[in-house]
Amino acid sequence: MARSMTGFGRGEFEDESHKIVVEMKSVNHRFLDLNIKLPRKLNAFEGDVRNYLKSRLNRGKVDVYINLEESAETSTSVKYNSEIAKMYLDNLNQMSQETGLDFDIKTSHLSRYPEVLELEEVPENEDDLLEILKKALEIATDQFIANRESEGERLKVDLISKVEEMDSYVDILERRSPEIVEEYSAKLREKVAFLLEDNKIDESRIASEIVIYADKVCIDEEMVRLRSHVNETKKVLEEDEETGRKLDFIAQEMNRESNTILSKSTDIEIANIGISLKTLIEKIREQIQNLE
């Protein structure tokens, strides 16, 4: 199935304490170029994300944005530093004794002293985080590929229409090609007859000249190859992978055949068809650049 290289996908997955959102978008590129942006807590999983995407995508410049949301109560906890609290108490008691002031410290007062109570992050379970990330990434990638396939189907219809138009041009070439040899033969006989007047025409010489001309302007091989390229294009468009690369090569071969037809042309109608072919092939190549 043909896939466009442009696409968008979004996926999210959550448990009781975490939510991961993955967004993907892409544009054309000769190869697979992954730009992955992760929050700090997920940096360790970049390799897992990259390997997964490489297993499912072939080409395109793909930007991947991953966001992590977590509930405050599960990401942090309050730590009581009893040793520090005891040191404060000992020193305050000593101050009371030395100054004669009342020792009136309360727990609520002591808790405000630096480092007695601290907020600290709860260590994450990396296996759980990775599992959530994988599920969100799979959902986003499925949507991303479906989006590419939908656009690819539109491109496929357009490309088939264009190669069928090319086939119709080859039909015209097949009809016109033998006619120009007949026309050349008639003009050659007329010209020789005019120059020789009543002298006898050398039929063998005329035949030889016609054969040379026919060989010079013959485009039978080019027409056969063009039809073959048309059929191969339709076949490749039904394949699953590397569609764009294969079609790009076929388009180059199509262009080569149209150039040869133009170089051999001595007839205005065939020359015009050759130009139309080149214009059409250029449009085909532009569309192929959008395929994965």
Find the CATH number of the domain harbouring 133.
Answer: 3.30.230.10
Please check whether residues 109 and 37 belong to one and the same domain: no
Q: Is the dihedral of CA 253, 254, 258, 261 positive or negative?
A: positive
Q: 109, exposed or middle or buried, with CB in 10 Å at 0-12, 13-18, 19+?
A: exposed
User: Which 8-state DSSP code applies to residue 41?
Assistant: G
Helix (H/G/I), strand (E/B), else coil: 126: helix
In the prediction, which pLDDT does 212 show?
67
Please tell me whether residues 21 and 103 are part of one structural domain: no
- Clarify whether residues 102 and 136 are in a common domain: no
- If 0-12 CB within 10 Å is exposed, 13-18 middle and 19+ buried, where does residue 219 land? buried
The distance from CA 120 to its chain's CA centroid, rounded to whole angstroms, is: 44
Q: CA triplet 167, 154, 59: central angle to 5 degrees?
A: 100
Regarding whether 38 and 104 lie in a shared domain, the answer is no
Look at residue 218 in the predicted model and tell me its pLDDT.
74
- Domain co-membership, 164 together with 141: no
Instruction: Verify that 106 and 234 share a domain, yes or no.
Output: no
Write out the residue range of the structural domain in which residue 95 sits.
Answer: 82-115
Residue-level pLDDT at 186: 66
Residues 40 and 51 both lie in one domain: yes
Are both 157 and 253 inside the same structural domain? yes
144 and 156, same domain (yes or no): no
Q: What pTM was estimated for this model as a whole? A: 0.69
Q: Is the same domain home to 267 and 235?
A: yes
Q: Are 53 and 109 in the same domain?
A: no
Answer yes or no: is 188 within a domain. yes
- Tell the residue number behind the tokens 């979004």, with chain if given: 10
pLDDT in tens, the chain (292 residues): 788 999 999 999 988 788 999 999 999 998 999 999 999 889 999 999 999 999 999 899 999 999 998 775 555 667 778 888 888 888 888 888 888 878 788 888 888 888 877 776 655 667 888 999 999 999 999 999 999 999 999 999 999 999 999 999 999 888 888 777 666 666 766 666 666 665 666 667 766 766 666 667 677 888 899 999 999 999 998 876 678 888 999 999 999 999 988 888 778 888 898 999 999 999 999 999 899 8
Distance, CA of 270 to CA of 223 (rounded, Å): 12
Is the distance from CB of 199 to CB of 270 less than 8 angstroms?
no
> Is 76 a member of any domain?
no
Q: Has residue 2 been placed in a domain?
A: no
pLDDT score recorded for residue 73: 56
Determine, yes or no, domain membership for 100.
yes
Do residues 177 and 217 both lie within one domain?
yes
| Domain count along the chain | 3
- Give domain status of residue 1, yes or no: no
Is residue 45 domain-resident? Answer: yes
Count the residues in the chain.
292
Out of 148, 163, 196, a domain closes at 148
**Residue 12, in any domain of the structure:** yes
pLDDT of residue 34: 96
CA dist., res. 163 & res. 182, Å (int)? 30
User: Of 234, 179, 188, whose CA–CA distance to 207 is shortest?
Assistant: 188
**Does residue 161 lie within any of the structural domains?**
yes
